Structure formats: C-alpha cells, structure tokens
Structure 1
Amino acid sequence: MKASYGDKVFYAVNYTVLTIIALTCLFPLVHIAALSLSDSSAIMSGLVTIWPKGWSLEAYGALLQGTNILGAFKNSLIITLVGVVLSMLLTTLAAYPLSRKYFYARKSFTLLMVFTMLFGAGMIPTYLVVKSLGLIDTYFALWLPGLISTYNMLVMKSFFENLPEELQEAARIDGCGEIKILARIILPLSLPMLATLSLFYGVQYWNAFMNVLIYINESDKYNLSVLVQQMVQSQSVMQELSDFQPEDIQNITPQSIKSAGVMVMVIPMLLVYPFLQKYFVKGVLIGSIKG
C-alpha cells in the first residue's frame, strides 16, 4: 500500500525526533571515549568533544598498572557469570511448572510471586537477614536476595505457555518425563527468550552497585561499578596511582583516568549486546503476548 503524503510527513517527523533522541543518548558515551583517548593538553584546553585529540593510550596504561582495575574486572565477571547461571536456572525451574495447566494451585503461586513486585521488605530487614545467614563479605549476598526476578519469570512463563502443546504431548507419548520435555523440547525452542533474559540478568549483575557497597566490606572484592565510582568521586585520583612515578603521569589528567575507567566498565556490555540484539525484541514480545 502506497503511503500518503500525511504518512510520509509523519514518518519523517518520527525519524527526525528519534534520531535526535538517539544522538542525545549517544553523545555522553562518545565524549567519555574521546576523553579517554586524548592527549592531556587537549583535555585541559577543552578541545575534546566527540573526537579524540592527540591520540593517546597512556590513561589506559596508567589505569591497568596503577589501580586494581583488573581485579575488579575479574570480580565483576565472577559476579555476572555465576549470577546469570543461577538466576536463569532458578527462573526456569519456577516458570516451567507455573506454565503447566495441570499444575495444582499454579494461579495461587503466581499471585504470591506477583505480590513480591508490589511490596518489599526494605534495606534494613534485608541486611539483617543477610547478616544472620553469615553472607556478609561473600558474593552470595549479591546473588541470593535477587536470585529470581518476578518480571523475568512471568515473561518466561508466558513464553512457555505459547509453545505448541502438540510437541509436548508427542514427547509424553514417546515416554519423556517433565525433565526431558523441558530439556529437549521447551528450552531448545526458547532460545530467543533465554538470550533476552540472560542479557537482563547480565546487565543487572554487571552494574551491581548498592548491594556491593552494603554487603561487601573488603575492597579487594569490589566490582568495577564500585571501583569506577570511587575513582570518579575521588579528588586525588592521580595520587592513588601508586605504581607510577610523578614523571610517568605528567601527561595524564584525572579526567582521562576516570574516562578510561568508565569505558572499561561499559565496553564488555557493548561487545555482548550485538550478539544478543537479534533475540532481544523477539524474545520479549513473544513472551508478553499472554499473562
């Protein structure tokens, strides 16, 4: 169907507005990247906007050698990988039985889980529970309190409900139990949804900040979010580069160090997202048709 003049104007306005919004969101990240790759003289002169001036990697070298950025990166990786595996496993084990029409009292269990989205215990009661379990200064304090996202569980439940029941019935006729049906039928057909929810959980754990500040007291267990925040807030970031001599950091500015730290924290998610982007919209939309 040929678009009318009004449709063309509408599309043009939409594309223009969305392009402006996208550029507005993208500009801070591009600016930070430019600062991290620019020469100190250009940064101090205020010449850096969206393109690096006097390309330099000294800020990244100082960051890697003078701070615990590698240790924090390893901690973030552990928190994210283990957290995603545990969360996806428990979310799947919760969503699958609730998606079965023959599961007894499934509506009651679903309502109880939805109730947790409306009310929370609060920071202090949660901290007291975590402390009583002896989880302070362990990563289990980051994993256990939010192991299952009710929203993600409902998305997965709706996705499972939309899968053809004929396939599952055929598997039962062939002698498959519930575990085999889940592992061999349901999960292979749910890759878009699994990739999408894994991305949700991955971003959540990678960007964990408040929970780390509350439950982790040992600085060598901090993740990238906390380390970079401390660098950004620090007024003496250059003095903290203990492995560098004064002459080694004379061409480095605090802005470039902080910008390099932000980029080290952001780049992993930017690298992962393109591989999961094709599943992103499909997984969420299909999983939200019902429920």
Structure 2
Amino acid sequence: MTTGQAEPWTVLRLLEWTTQFFKKRGFESPRLDAEVLLAEARGSSRIDLYTAFNQEPTPEVREAFRELVRRRGEGTPVAYLVGHKEFYSLDLRVSEATLIPRPETEHVVIEALDQAKAWRAAGRATERPLRIVDCCTGSGAIAVAIAKNLPECEVTATDLSPEALEIASYNIHQHQLDDRVRAVVGDLLEPIPAEPAIDIICSNPPYVSQSEYDALAAEVREHEPQMALLAGPRGTEVIERLVAEAAVRLVPGGRLILELSPMIADASQQLVEQHGGYEATKFIKDLAGHRRVLSTTRAE
C-alpha cells in the first residue's frame, strides 16, 4: 500500500491487495477481514464499500487502514480491532477482556428460547417473568440475545471479571435491556440469591483442557482471555461445579444449558448422569455435526 504507484489506490484495489496479503497469512476469511477493516477506517458500513469501489480514500483513511492491516497481519482478531461483533443478529461490543462471540454459542440461545416457549406452553410460571441466569457471561452475548428475544424474562449475567462485566453492561444498556438484565460480579451462581429459584441456567463456561489450550491457534491463545477458555487439565472442571450448583438452584423441571467442546461431550454427559439430579439430557449439534451444547432438566 505504498503511495508511489501510478495506479491509484481505490477502495477496490485496497481490498484486493489486502485480501491477497491476508490469504498468504492463512486467515480463514481474508476478503471479509479486509472489508470490515476498510469500512472501519472509512467510518462506513461494509455495504457502502460496494458503491465506492472507484473512490480513492483520503490519506488519513489509508493510514488508519494500513495500521489496522498491520495489526491484523500480526494476529490480532478483527473483532478486537473494530471493537464489536455480530451475534444472533445483534451488534455487541467486545474487548480483549471478553471472548469473541461465535456462531456455535447461538445454539445455547436457541435452546434457551425453545425451552422457555415449552415452559410457557405447559402453563408453568405464567404469573411471573421467567428467571434466567447466564454464567460466565463475558460480553453478555447470551444474556442480551435471550432477553431481546424473550420479553417475558428477567436475566442475571454473572462473571468473575469486572472488566468483562463492563462490556456486558454496555451491551445491556445499548440494547435497552437495563430493566430486565443485570450484570453482577461473581463465580457462577454464587452472587445469585438462593430464593427465588431459577428457571433456566445458561453458560458458555471455560471448557478447554490444558492440552487443547496449548494447541489453540495463536490468534486465540495470545489474544482472548485465558480465564474464559482454560478450565483445567481435564476441561470439565467448571462444568462439574456448575452441574452441582445448578441442581440445587433450578426449580424442578428447570433447564441447564451448557456449551462445551465436542472433546469433552462424553465426560460432561457422565458428570450429569452421575449426579443423579437431572433427566432428559440431550445434545445439540453445531453446523459441523459436533456435539456442542448439553441441555438437561432438573428432575421433578
């Protein structure tokens, strides 16, 4: 992207050059990354780029774009460079204090909404809002998406990281959910009052084992928060605690919904079955066909 070329650096040429640059670095979506970063540098939407292919960005825009491309080339995720990420058709702020929301986690939201509808259809708890907890909320993605799509609920989002909860609180406010979603610092269900009991507990907890963590792509391992990823040697350490805590905090018939790694699906199912306080356990598969979400009911 030097300025000494006779051919002008139009929007299209910048995109084409950057796409090839990112391809050489093995990025999964080089063209998308280039478009998102150029739109950020221009202060525009990605759609606007398609009507501006022949335009020449100002030197200031090119310099801002050059810096974004440099940092992306060094491995910084695009979501952290632009400060936001789409999740369940919602725009959410993210930072290096939070995980980047991923499509797999949307399966947790879908399962929670399905269970809530089934709960209401069965005529349960019709006199009050459904009580939902999102443990290890991070950016608040699960809590915000559920509350946005389920007006008849109240959500409490917990996380150990005050920095993550600042981001979650921002997203809650941005989506005008302050009256129904609250973010509190604490470990899993510890900050939730013992009464009233909870109808649905959701979580995308740390579930990466030490061996998996060591093998993660540098882009993830070096930028996303370790405490939100690494569970311990086995990968099931946090899930085991949450299975035990949820069993005494859910109402009878309440639902526990956990995202997990396919690598620990069998071990997680065994933890639920060995506990003895759950029934109707099932897995939801992701688009690749892997068991990604465990959903189980507290025994009546």
TM-score category (smaller protein) = under 0.3
Q: Which structure has greater strand proportion?
A: 2
Q: Which structure has the larger Rg over C-alpha atoms?
A: 1
Higher helix share: 1
| More RCO (CA 8 Å, sep 6+) | 1
What TM-score do you get using the length of structure 1 for normalisation?
0.22
TM superposition score normalised by structure 2: 0.22
